Amino acid sequence: MNFIPEELRFLALIILIGVARVLLSIPMSVVMAVSTFFAASFLAAIFTHPVLTQLGLEPFWEGPVAVAIGFFGAYLAKHLSYLAENPAKIKGVVKEVIEVITIWRKK
């Protein structure tokens, strides 16, 4: 597999996003750290270019968009694992999501 320099730069950025997210987090278990790293890296790798295309942004914005998406992915993984540990909280979260969707549809 031959990578062009832009792809290598993007791959390095994605890895750094995952590492930065783990290092900036409060101390966590190894499983949580690994899942946070992979969630941040995966979402940044998958969704950065579609977001750039959808918003009509230049390639210059690739880094900041990847960082934002990566940190969102880590946040999402953290909260999903928290909900998995506390199943009683899921009911409240589902009610809030339904409320947000109904408000959004009314607009």
pLDDT digits (tens, 9 = 90+) for 69-81: 888 887 887 777 7
Q: Tell me how far apart the alpha carbons of residues 40 and 103 are, in angstroms, rounded to a whole number.
A: 29
8 Å CB contact between 11 and 30: no
Q: Kindly report, residue by residue over 6-50, the tens digit of the pLDDT.
A: 777 777 877 887 777 777 777 777 777 777 778 878 888 888 889
- What average pLDDT does this structure show over 47-59? 88
Q: Kindly report, residue by residue over 82-104, the tens digit of the pLDDT.
A: 777 777 787 887 888 889 888 88
Reference 33, options 66, 3, 74, 61; nearest CA is: 74
In Å, how far from its chain's centre is CA 62?
A: 15
